[in-house]
Amino acid sequence: MLHVDSLVLTVTDPDTGQSTEILHGNSFALGAGESLGLVGESGSGKSMTLKCILGIEPSGARVTGSIALDGTDLLSAGGEELRRIRANDLALIAQNPHGSLNPVLPVGRFLVEGMSDARSLPAAEARTRAAELLRQVGITDTERVLRSYPHQLSGGMLQRVVIAGAMSGEPKLLLADEPTTALDVTTQAEVVAILDEKRREHGLSMIYVTHDLDLAAAVCDRLAVMKDGEILEIGTPEEIRDRPKTDYTRALMSARPQLYPEGSPEPALGGNTPALGGDAHANTEDRA
């Protein structure tokens, strides 16, 4: 489905003329319906990898190697073909949903305008379809949400709207860049579950960028560990967790927050357990 081969990204500073290589010849492949987690510390090149696939790398950047989507090389594809592929086959879900939405338009307009067939649909039908997309991401009061402006909705609600918008184009590949980092933990879990459900339902491939190794392991079939613009290793979550090949992966594993650090006994919780089969009031005698 997606084959990235020897991807090199070089950025040149327009003022000094100095070039810096940001991605150093990375290769990876992604099958249809497969999800790959890109994990690594800040600045390791995760977002830049997605930007190269989307063709939105910074100005002054040069990308070499190849990025083939179902056999079409996105780096050599021409304007119209590339525009069509990006519009139809790729969808980005970014960290901050506000960045994907127009602040001066109700979200209903965003959804309707994002539909690839919106121009041929009568307005009422387009709106019905937008409401249906919202219901598919767990939003029930669709009329209120369609009428709302982005600032009137919570971050979790907005990210659902963005996911609904992403699904409207029926993409083949979902690129999610820290899609839940800006959300509180409970909403995070809900949004991850929706994303995962949509992906499985539609058989989409996905690249999921995150700092959170445990989250990546839960959501992805394979993980690619990045450091300083280089993919150090790729493996299943079990391989990465149980048999890390590099010291960096080991360090990344031990740096993740844990409720109970490995090896430490789980703290005992206070309280009395009623004796099984005994007097049901045995623990309440003090109150008698």
Ligand X SMILES: Nc1ncnc2c1ncn2[C@@H]1O[C@H](COP(=O)(O)OP(=O)(O)OP(=O)(O)O)[C@@H](O)[C@H]1O
Which residues would be at the binding site for Mg ion (CB under 5 A)?
47
For Mg ion, the closer CB: 47 or 66? 47
37, 45, 114, 179: which one binds ligand X (CB under 6 A) = 45
46 binds ligand X (CB under 6 A): yes
Largest pairwise CA distance in the chain: 84
Q: Which residue stretch of 46-54, 118-126, 138-146, 200-208 sits at the interface with ligand X (rule: CB under 6 A)?
A: 46-54
37 is a contact residue toward ligand X (CB under 6 A): no
The two structure tokens encoding residue 280: 């049901």
Closer of 41 and 233 to Mg ion (Cβ):
41
The CB-of-2 to Mg ion minimum distance in angstroms stands at 19
Interacting positions 201-260 with ligand X (CB under 6 A): 211
> Which one of ligand X, Mg ion, none is in contact with 168 (Cβ closer than 5 to 8 A by kind)?
none
- How many residues bind to ligand X according to rule CB under 6 A? 12
Contacted by 11, from Mg ion, ligand X, none: CB < 5 to 8 Å by type: ligand X
Query: Where does this chain touch ligand X (CB under 6 A) — which range of 35-43, 101-109, 238-246, 259-267?
Result: 35-43
Query: Which one of 6, 19, 43, 255 is in contact with ligand X (CB under 6 A)?
Result: 43
Question: Any contact of residue 272 with ligand X (CB under 6 A)?
Answer: no
Q: If binding is defined by CB under 6 A, does position 22 make contact with ligand X?
A: yes
Per CB under 6 A, does 44 bind ligand X? yes
Residue tagged 């600045």 (tokens): 43
Q: How far is the CB of 20 from Mg ion (least distance, A)?
A: 17
Residue 35: count of CB within 10 angstroms of its CB: 23
CB of 123 to Mg ion, least distance (A): 38
Instruction: For Mg ion, give the closer residue by CB, 31 or 43.
Output: 43
Among 5, 10, 28, 47, binds ligand X (CB under 6 A): 47
CB 37 within 8 A of CB 231: no
What is the rounded CA–CA span in Å between residue 130 and residue 144? Answer: 12
Closer residue to ligand X (CB): 41 or 221 = 41
Smallest distance from Mg ion to CB 228, Å: 14
Q: Which residue has the tokens 């969808």?
A: 91
Residues paired with residue 9 on neighbouring β-strands, in sequence order: 23, 63
